Amino acid sequence: MNRISTQAEWIARAAEVLPAAGFGNFDPGIVISRGAGSRVWDADGNEYIDYLIGSGPMLIGHGHPEVMEAVFEQLPKGMTFFANNAKGIELAEEIARAVPCAEQVRYVSSGGEADMYAMRLARAYTGRDKILKFEGGYHGMSAEAQMSLAPTRMVNFPQAVPDSAGIPETVRAEMLIAPFNDIEFVKSLIAEHKSELAAVIVEPLQRIIPPAPGFLQALRDLCSANDILLIFDEIVTGFRFAYGGAQELYRVTPDICTLGKIIGGGFPLAAIAASREIMAHFDKSLVGADKWLMQLGTLSGNPVASAAGLKTMEILARDGQYARLRETGERIQRMASKSLKAQGIPHQITGDATLFDILFLDRPARDYRDVIQADGAWNAAFNDHLRGSGIFKSPGKLYPSLALTQADLEHTEAAFEAAASAIG
């Protein structure tokens, strides 16, 4: 077989064997060949500062030498066992120490799996079927999660809108949809459906939309008062916002949380975490066959992923890491806003210092319907110009990392100025 060397050749090859020429995750028009530290390179050798960082997992950068050492130490000992292993147990112990709601942990391989099992766990524990989620909230690819994730048709709440073909109509009946940051609407839904509701599932930061002051605590209070479980989807925010995640930063403790991305150190790994009482439903000997939640996975608790995640978390726990991450994020936010203001372009920097993006909108966004009012043409043009200047990011998020250097930030500032000037 001839050596394939150019990006165009790889894209053509992908089109033959991959639907829509891609993995379904990101722009199939770019093929990444390698990453190191804060940088990635495409198949043509073009170099980018990486603000996508694998959609979040590479918080300390690509190929961190300490993580590589931990992985290389584990590899000759075995890559997977379908059985308990020491690294997986150590990682669970550290998660339980770090995360406020976590007394026990159950592993899966992806965040979508973790969210699916979290909702199923809530149903097993409460004996109820309905789940309340927020419009625009992302909780993976299960049938429940694919309700009103990114609806193009706005309907009256709490009606759910399927985002995918292939979902049974009956799933809609078990999902209630509310606008994010509207606690009065949530209160009315709970008053009407509390006898049927198993859980409220929420991203503490919904994509890039921050919770309104008091919103998460009000959810906590409502759930506690009505014997409904509160699930925090911390696949993105866990070990990013703080070592204990968004629940540490916001000082609101859910009943169940899901974790992913960072806990695998760049390898496939995710987890469900909760109290012993709730997690007992994974143990048939404690709850009996009728209340037992069956769960298994070939790669769950994989030792290589656990070793990478454990070392990543050890690095994050060192003094000053989160302060430095936040300082870097705040600097990037200031640079972006300064560049756009200089061109008189209406915009909002929305999110947290550790995860945010630019919305081309003239007012703050409180929920999904605000976000979709942002100017998509400006967003697309701005991001296209950034990529042309060597900035690699998602169309809807920017992830700062601890691998960024002074030179990276200076390059980023110049790219922001050029992009703002081009669209201004």
SS3 355: strand
Asked whether the predicted pLDDT for residue 1 surpasses 60, the reply is no
Stretch 293-322: mean pLDDT, rounded?
97
SS3 187: helix
Q: Are strands 197-202 and 229-234 parallel, antiparallel or unpaired?
A: parallel
Structure tokens at 309: 């995640």
Structure tokens at 152: 């193009």
| pLDDT value of position 424 | 86
Reply yes or no on whether 27 is catalytic: no
Single-letter residue type at 312: T
> How far, rounded to the nearest angstrom, does the alpha carbon of residue 202 sit from its chain's CA centroid?
12
Single-letter residue type at 367: D
% of the chain exceeding 70 in pLDDT:
100
Give the end-to-end CA distance of the chain in Å, rounded to a whole number.
48
Q: Cβ atoms within 10 A of the Cβ of 144, count?
A: 20
Asked whether the predicted pLDDT for residue 381 surpasses 70, the reply is yes
Structure tokens at 177: 């949809």
Reply yes or no on whether 322 is catalytic: no
Q: CA triplet 402, 307, 285: central angle to 5 degrees?
A: 125
Residue from 153, 268, 133, 141 nearest 202 by CA: 133
Residue 132 bridge partners (DSSP): 176, 200
SS3 336: helix
| pLDDT value of position 83 | 96
Question: Which residue has tokens 């000082």?
Answer: 251
pLDDT-derived band at 303 (thresholds 50, 70, 90) equals very high
Structure tokens at 342: 């200089």
Stretch 345-358: mean pLDDT, rounded?
98
**Which listed residue (42, 115, 233, 367) is catalytic?**
233
SS3 285: helix
> How far, rounded to the nearest angstrom, does the alpha carbon of residue 298 sit from its chain's CA centroid?
23
Model pLDDT for residues 23-50, shown as the tens digit of each residue: 999 999 999 999 999 999 999 999 999 9
Which residues are CB-contacts of 335 (< 8 A; sequence separation ≥ 6)?
409, 412, 413, 416
Q: Are 136 and 200 in contact (CB under 8 A)?
A: no
pLDDT-derived band at 2 (thresholds 50, 70, 90) equals low
Mean pLDDT across the chain:
97
**Which listed residue (133, 261, 311, 393) is catalytic?**
261
Reply yes or no on whether 370 is catalytic: no
Stretch 321-338: mean pLDDT, rounded?
98
Q: CA triplet 137, 139, 143: central angle to 5 degrees?
A: 105
Asked whether the predicted pLDDT for residue 55 surpasses 90, the reply is yes
- φ, ψ for residue 198 (rounded to 5)? -85, -40
Model pLDDT for residues 202-227, shown as the tens digit of each residue: 999 999 999 999 999 999 999 999 99
| pLDDT value of position 43 | 96
Q: Are 259 and 203 in contact (CB under 8 A)?
A: no
Model pLDDT for residues 244-270, shown as the tens digit of each residue: 999 999 999 999 999 999 999 999 999
More confident residue, 1 or 163: 163
Q: Are 329 and 240 in contact (CB under 8 A)?
A: no
| pLDDT value of position 292 | 97
In 340-410 the beta strands, taken as DSSP E runs, fall at: 348-352, 355-359, 391-392
Structure tokens at 69: 């050492």
Q: Are 140 and 111 in contact (CB under 8 A)?
A: yes
SS3 393: coil
Interatomic CA distance for residues 250 and 201, integer angstroms = 16
Q: CA triplet 43, 48, 54: central angle to 5 degrees?
A: 80
Structure tokens at 361: 């909108």
**Which listed residue (48, 51, 138, 243) is catalytic?**
138
Element (H, E) at 177: strand 175-178
Could you tell me the domains of the chain? 31-63+321-423 (3.90.1150.10), 65-316 (3.40.640.10)
| pLDDT value of position 4 | 72
pTM above 0.85, yes or no: yes
Model pLDDT for residues 85-141, shown as the tens digit of each residue: 999 999 999 999 999 999 999 999 999 999 999 999 999 999 999 999 999 999 999
| pLDDT value of position 14 | 95
